[in-house]
Structure 1
Amino acid sequence: MTPLIAFGEALVDMLSNRLDGAADDIPETFTPYAGGAPANVAVACARLGMSSRFLGMLGEDRFGDFLVEELARHGVSVEDIRRTREARTALAFVSRDAQGERRFDFYRPPAADLLYRLAHLPAGIFAEPTILHLCSNSLTDDAIAETTLSIADIARRGEALISVDANLRHNLWPDNRVDIGRVTALLDHAHLLKLSREELEALRGDHDADTWLQWRLAAGVRLIVITDGPAPVVVHRLGKVIHVTPPEVTAVDTTAGGDAFVGGLLAQLAEADVTAATLGDWCQDETRLRDAIQRACRCGAFAVTRPGAYTALPTRDDLDNMR
C-alpha cells in the first residue's frame, strides 16, 4: 500500500456551540477541535488503514501540543513536524448555520505553519513511491508559496502521485483576494485535483468552465473531481465525464466533509498501488472509478453528520456499518 504525505496547515478549529440565527440568550462558547485541511486528510487516510505522515510547522504552545497529540492518537506519523517559538499555532473560529454550513474567522497570519521552509523538508522523503497531498492555504504569502511549489516540484521529479484540493479560503488571502495565477500553478502540479463547484467558478474567471477544465487536463491532471454539497459529484478524466450521487444525510457540521472525501479516494488509490504513471489508465475503468467515487462520497457523508474534523472521519468499520 502506497503511503501518504500531507503538507500544509494543521490548526485548531474553535467550534461555536450556537447556530447562526439562533436565539442569542445563551452565552456563546467554543470547543477546540483539531483540524486544518491537509492534516484532516492525513487523519482520514490513517483512519482508513493507510500509512500517513504530516509535514508542517506548529508553534511551541499548548495548541501545537494538542495537534501533535491528536494527530498521533489517530495514527498519523508526527516525527517530521517542526516546532517554532517565532509564531503561534493557527486558530479558526467556526460558526455554523442550521444546515451545518460554516463560516470561518481565522487567526492567521501570523502563524507557525507559514514559517515552514524547504530546509525543513526531510532528505530523500520522495525517494520511494508516495502520494503527496497539498492545499492552496499554503500559498497565501510569498515565502510559504515558494516552499509549497518547490515541494510539489521535488515530489513530481520523484514520481510521487500528487493530490491537490483547492480548498479556497478567501479571508486567508491579503485583502480577501485569491492569487488565481498562483493557485492555478499549484493545481497544474496535480495528478488528482479536487474542487468544489464554488471554487471552480472562482478560479475559471471569464473562461468557460469546460474549457478551463480541459486546460487542467492538458497540463497533466489525470482526474478532476468537482463536489457540490449534496448534489452529484462530477468527475472529469480525459475523454469522459461521469456523475455520482452521494448518500442523503442530515448535515451537522460540514467542516471535514471534503477532506473525508479526499481521504476516502486516496485510500483506495493507495490500496491499489496506483502511481502517477498509472492513474490515467486506472481511471479508464469506469465501473472501478464510479465505485471509488461512491465510497469517497460515503466517507464525506459520514463526516458531515458529526461535529469537528479528526473525530468525525470514518474508519473502515464505520463505512461498513453505515446505512
Structure 2
Amino acid sequence: MTSGATSGAVPEVLTMGRVGVDVYPLQVGVSLRHVETFGKYLGGSPTNVAVAAARLGRSSAVITRTGADPFGLFVHDALREYGVGDQYVTAVPGLPTPVTFCEIRPPEDFPLYFYRYPKAPDLEIRPEELDLPAVAGARLFWATVTGLSDEPSRGAHLAAWRARGRAPYTVLDLDYRPMFWPDEETARERVREALGHVTVVVGNLEEVEVATGTREPRKAGRALLEAGAELAVVKRGAAGVLGMTATETVEVPPVPVEVVNGLGAGDAFGGALCHGLLAGWPLERTLRFANAAGAIVAGRLACAPAMPTAAEVLEVLEVTGEGRTDRGKVTDEERADRGEGAGDE
C-alpha cells in the first residue's frame, strides 16, 4: 500500500467530486457490442487525481458519495489499497454507485458511456456534511466543474471554496462533460461563477473554450487569469501544454507515447501537477513532470492502477530528454524519488 491520508489527519491533497467504477474491455479495438471480457477499476476524475497524488508520495483523500451497494464497498477497498483516505466517503441510500464503460480504440477514440441514473450519489454531497476545517487546512484542494452541474453538490462546492478563501492551492479542473449538463451555456455560467473562488485552473482546449469563449490557448489563459486565477494551465493535446501566470508564460512539448487508453492521462497529469505545486518547483519543471506522468498512463489500459510513481516519471523524462531544466544536474530530491542515496551519481 502506498502512503496516504489517514482518519484524523488533514491530507496534503483533498479532492472532491465524481467517483465510480470503470468497466473497461480487455479487448482492444472491439465494440462494446462484441466485447466478452472486462476489467473493473476505480474511476472518477477527482478520485483518480487523489490516487495519482498518493502514488507520488502525497497524503491525499477524496470527498465523495457512493451507493449503499457492493460497488460502493469496492470504492472504499480500492481507495485504501491505493493509500487514499476514504474518511470523507459515505453512502447515499437509494442511489446506485455509478458505472462507466468505454471502448478502447487507440490512438484517439475512447468513447465513454456513463451510467449515473437516476442521479449520481456524488452529486448528493451536501454543504452541512463537509469537514470545513479539513477543506480549509488541506495544502491543495481540487474540484471539477461536474460538481457544479446539480444541487446540492453545487452548494457544497461553493461552501468549500468559501471556507478556503482562495487559499493556494485551490484548483478547478474544468473537466467539462456535455452529457452532465442541460446545455453548454449553463455550464459556462457555473464555471464563470466558480472562477472567482479558485487560484489554479486546468483544462483542455474544449474546456477552456466553454469557460472563456475562446480555444486559442494564450487568449484563453489570459482570460482565466483576468477572471481571478493565479495559474492557468491549458492542455493542447499533440501541441503540448501551456502554463501562464501574471508574470510567466511557459510552453512544453508533449511526451511521445504509443497510446493504449488516453482516458486517465489527464488525471495523472493532475496528480503530478499537485505534486509539483506542493514541491514548489518552477512552472516549467512542474509541467514537464506532469506531461510525462500523463504520457505513462496513456500507454496503459486502466486509470487508477496505472498512476505512476515519481521514479517512473523521472525515468521517462531522462529517456525522452524532456527532463530537468537544470542542464542535467540530479537533485537530492530526485535521487530520493528514485530510491538512490544522496551521493549516488
TM-score by length of structure 2 reads 0.81
Structure with more contact order per residue of length (Cα contacts < 8 Å, sep ≥ 6): 1
Tell me what 1:107 maps to: 115
Aligned: 1:216 with 2:210: no
Tell me: CA distance 1:101–1:313, structure 2 relative to 1, closer, same or farther (3 Å): farther
Whole-Å separation in 1 of the counterparts to 2:158 and 2:104: 33
Aligned residue for 1:216, secondary structure, equals: helix
Letter in 2 for 1:301: A
CA drift at 1:67 = 1.1
CA drift at 1:30 = 3.1
Whole-Å separation in 2 of the counterparts to 1:200 and 1:5: 23
Asked whether the equivalents of residues 48 and 303 of structure 2 are also in contact (C-alpha less than 8 Å), the reply is yes
Tell me what 1:138 maps to: 147
1:210-237 Cα deviation digits (max 9, x unpaired): 5553332123211111112232211111
Whole-Å separation in 1 of the counterparts to 2:55 and 2:215: 39
Whole-Å separation in 2 of the counterparts to 1:70 and 1:308: 13
Work out which of the residue numbers 134, 146, 157 in structure 2 matches 1:148: 157
1:159-218 Cα deviation digits (max 9, x unpaired): 352011101111122367752110222233221111101212333337976555333212
Tell me what 1:81 maps to: 89
Work out which of the residue numbers 196, 202, 207 in structure 2 matches 1:194: 202
> Identity of counterpart residues, as a percentage?
28
Asked whether the equivalents of residues 162 and 190 of structure 1 are also in contact (C-alpha less than 8 Å), the reply is yes
CA drift at 1:126 = 3.6
As a proportion of its length, which structure holds more strand? Answer: 1
CA drift at 1:293 = 0.8
Whole-Å separation in 1 of the counterparts to 2:50 and 2:215: 33
Whole-Å separation in 1 of the counterparts to 2:137 and 2:33: 56
CA drift at 1:72 = 1.0
Work out which of the residue numbers 309, 318, 321 in structure 2 matches 1:315: 309
Letter in 1 for 2:140: I
Tell me: CA distance 1:207–1:47, structure 2 relative to 1, closer, same or farther (3 Å): closer
Asked whether the equivalents of residues 31 and 103 of structure 2 are also in contact (C-alpha less than 8 Å), the reply is no
Whole-Å separation in 1 of the counterparts to 2:260 and 2:154: 33
Asked whether the equivalents of residues 166 and 187 of structure 1 are also in contact (C-alpha less than 8 Å), the reply is no
Alignment of structure 1 residues 8-19 onto 2, 5 Å: 8-19=17-28
Work out which of the residue numbers 258, 270, 295 in structure 2 matches 1:301: 295
Asked whether the equivalents of residues 250 and 283 of structure 2 are also in contact (C-alpha less than 8 Å), the reply is no
Whole-Å separation in 2 of the counterparts to 1:17 and 1:251: 15
Whole-Å separation in 2 of the counterparts to 1:321 and 1:199: 31
1:10-50 Cα deviation digits (max 9, x unpaired): 11111134445x58995444322111000011000000000
CA drift at 1:128 = 3.0
Whole-Å separation in 1 of the counterparts to 2:314 and 2:219: 39
CA drift at 1:93 = 1.3
Tell me: CA distance 1:132–1:250, structure 2 relative to 1, closer, same or farther (3 Å): same
Tell me what 2:272 maps to: 264
Alignment of structure 1 residues 229-244 onto 2, 5 Å: 229-244=237-252
Structure 1 portions without partners, runs of 5+: 273-281, 283-287
Whole-Å separation in 1 of the counterparts to 2:100 and 2:32: 21
Work out which of the residue numbers 86, 100, 103 in structure 2 matches 1:92: 100
Aligned residue for 2:171, secondary structure, equals: strand
TM-score by length of structure 1 reads 0.87
Letter in 1 for 2:147: S
Whole-Å separation in 2 of the counterparts to 1:207 and 1:299: 24
Query: Over aligned residue pairs, what C-alpha RMSD do you find?
Result: 2.5
Whole-Å separation in 2 of the counterparts to 1:177 and 1:215: 17
Tell me: CA distance 1:39–1:79, structure 2 relative to 1, closer, same or farther (3 Å): same
Tell me what 1:125 maps to: 134
Tell me: CA distance 1:58–1:267, structure 2 relative to 1, closer, same or farther (3 Å): same
Whole-Å separation in 2 of the counterparts to 1:9 and 1:131: 17
Tell me: CA distance 1:127–1:106, structure 2 relative to 1, closer, same or farther (3 Å): closer
Aligned residues: 307
Asked whether the equivalents of residues 255 and 292 of structure 2 are also in contact (C-alpha less than 8 Å), the reply is yes
Whole-Å separation in 2 of the counterparts to 1:144 and 1:133: 14
CA drift at 1:106 = 0.9
Tell me: CA distance 1:193–1:127, structure 2 relative to 1, closer, same or farther (3 Å): closer
Whole-Å separation in 2 of the counterparts to 1:196 and 1:164: 12
CA drift at 1:251 = 0.8
Asked whether the equivalents of residues 209 and 215 of structure 2 are also in contact (C-alpha less than 8 Å), the reply is no
